[in-house]
Structure 1
Amino acid sequence: MLNREVLMDYILECLQGMATGNQEIKPDSDLVNDLGLESIKVMNLLMMLEDKLDISIPINILLNVRTPEQLLDALLPHMESTNGSV
């Protein structure tokens, strides 16, 4: 079972390899404006998370997501409904 901190570390690690430039990636970094992620990279991030967590993540989870912290907040309820408490 993954806790919140471990999952955030994994999200930030994945983003490190995707972001344009050498800026520090933080939980409140804007995925598009700060990190330069295009939609295909965001989809790749979702696929990496699906593989790591062994779940299927609905695309609509991204509707209001702009930062890694918001992504984590959107993922946790989905994970809990799929696998029980995180």
Structure 2
Amino acid sequence: MSKHIAIRLPDETYGRLQALAERTGRTATLLYIRQAIETHLEDLGDIYLTQAAMERIRSGESKIISGEEFWRGMDD
């Protein structure tokens, strides 16, 4: 199942999107917007997880270990 979503784009961004769609013969919404979201969704998830990990390190809840310590712990 798929869901619909509506967004507002600045005129310049919308124009660029439409121009690209016309040059390539593709539809803007179906291909480019969906592709952009799917491409960047994983990156955004990684960024948020990294920020959360850094906060745990800053608060002392987690600590940074060396690669050697990491691999030594894998043998346990």
Structure with more relative contact order (C-alpha pairs < 8 Å, separation 6 or more): 1
Same fold (TM over 0.5): no
Larger Rg: 2
Per the shorter chain, which TM-score range? Answer: 0.3 to 0.5
TM-score by length of 2: 0.33
